[in-house]
Structure 1
């Protein structure tokens, strides 16, 4: 490798390690926040949704009033805008209570889907076994999905907190790996610099 190629590689490595390090640090701290404050994280997310619903509702209502003479069904925009404003106000007024209710609803919904997938998977596996087509793996997938669905439905809010902690753990781990990679790239950049000095 000649000096020009060495210099180009060094400059690239010098620029890259800082970017990689920044990503690693962000991932690490996001993971830490998710693990230490799972309930607060959920509340913050629902709060942001509340702000969005409020702004969207006001914008829809304003837009509908401005253009009510152009459409026959202008009242529909009025209704949806009003619902958006109402949802936003409720979330912003009682963020924690809304977090529990909204999160529970979403997790129950996911639980029902998992339950239906599990039942469907088990039925399909039984039919495949009758045809001697080997439905054993499908049976296990169905059972796992069924158990998951039952767990999600039985304790939705706790399941959501567990899910956030899992994401937090992955984020923390990914952050540490990314920071380690950044340090390796930095070391390599220094090696190239020392090669060019001599």
Structure 2
């Protein structure tokens, strides 16, 4: 004969690991929607916050990499470079978080633009070398988008931030729906 406590009577069933996963997915969905809304309503302060978190990460990672040299000397030159660059980047981002919030997405847009130009040029050469008109047309489109990103990186960065906001909200809604449909 068991009492109610031993049999679990009167306590809600959490579903064990499945119940924990359900609440975790639900929480992630809510956080994603929150960040998406914050990106729409307060884009620069939200980017500044994320840049600050990135600066803290780079700084901590740089310190950890340099400290790891005391245990493992393999690839010490690369580790030293990564550690020093991480510390420098982290300190710069933490000293200038507002500039970093604008500069990081802008640099990202330029890098993607240059990548688009290179990929477009490769596709264009392949298209005229016998791969077909489809490849050449993809090359031209890639070059056009690459030029837009390189010539107008700040506008592209703003569009990137808005895209992140939309994707965060859509992903958050999807996560909440998924969490509510999980067996629990």
Q: TM-score, normalised by structure 1?
A: 0.63
- Matching residue of 2:3: none
Q: Residue 86 of structure 1 aligns to a residue in which SS?
A: helix
Cα deviation digits, residues 48-68 of structure 1 (max 9, x gap): 22112322344455566x68x
Larger CA Rg, structure 1 vs 2: 1
Whether the 8 Å contact between 2:26 and 2:176 is mirrored in structure 1 is: yes
Structure 1: 5+ residue stretches without partners: 1-10, 190-198
Residue in 2 aligned with 1:27?
32
Match of 1:86 in 2: 88
User: How many Å apart are 1:75 and its aligned residue?
Assistant: 8.6
Higher relative contact order (CA 8 A, sep 6+): 1
Counterpart contact for 1:47–1:95, Cα < 8 Å: yes
Deviations along 1:99-118, whole A, 9 cap, x unmatched? 33333333212211110111
- The change in CA–CA distance for 1:86 and 1:115 in structure 2 (over 3 A counts) is same
Higher percent of residues as helix: 1
Q: CA RMSD in A?
A: 3.8
CA contact (8 A) 1:39 1:161 kept: no
Aligned equivalent of 2:141: 144
**Does 1:45 pair with 2:50?**
yes
Structure 2, unaligned runs of 5 or more:
1-13
